[in-house]
Amino acid sequence: MRISADPKSPHYSTCSRQATVFLNGEQLKHCVTADDEAGTAECYRLDANGEIFRDGEFAELQVLRGQVEIVLEDMDFDAWLRRRTERAHADFMARTSRLPA
């Protein structure tokens, strides 16, 4: 299966919101496109702090290769939005707690 969160991609699917992608058993964050048959995952490149690396105004993408697994969760919109909000809050708290006081 090939799935993409990029609306410009021919493999774009709204199901990508409910997909979790694993590479060699580890969950990927910031994954844009994944193909379990080809064993590739296109993700945003992260810097040393875990933030998305930007070259000027553009975020850089990298292609990771290995055993790719795409797991689609069966959930309604409210459950998806709740999970997304909780993740965003947890990421925000982790990012801001690293800042010096």
Q: Tokens in use for 18? A: 């409910």
Place of tokens 């070259």: 55
Over residues 74-87, the pLDDT tens digits come to 767 787 788 788 88
Phi then psi for 66, rounded to 5 degrees?
160, -155
C-alpha to C-alpha distance for 42 and 30, rounded to whole angstroms: 9
Which ranges in the chain belong to alpha helices (H)?
77-97
- Position 90 scores a pLDDT of 85
Listed in sequence order, the residues at least 6 apart from 26 whose beta carbon sits closer than 8 Å to its beta carbon are: none
- Position 75 scores a pLDDT of 62
- Position 71 scores a pLDDT of 87
Average pLDDT across each block of 10 residues of the chain; the chain has 101 residues. List them in order. 85 80 90 91 86 81 92 74 84 76 53
- Position 99 scores a pLDDT of 58
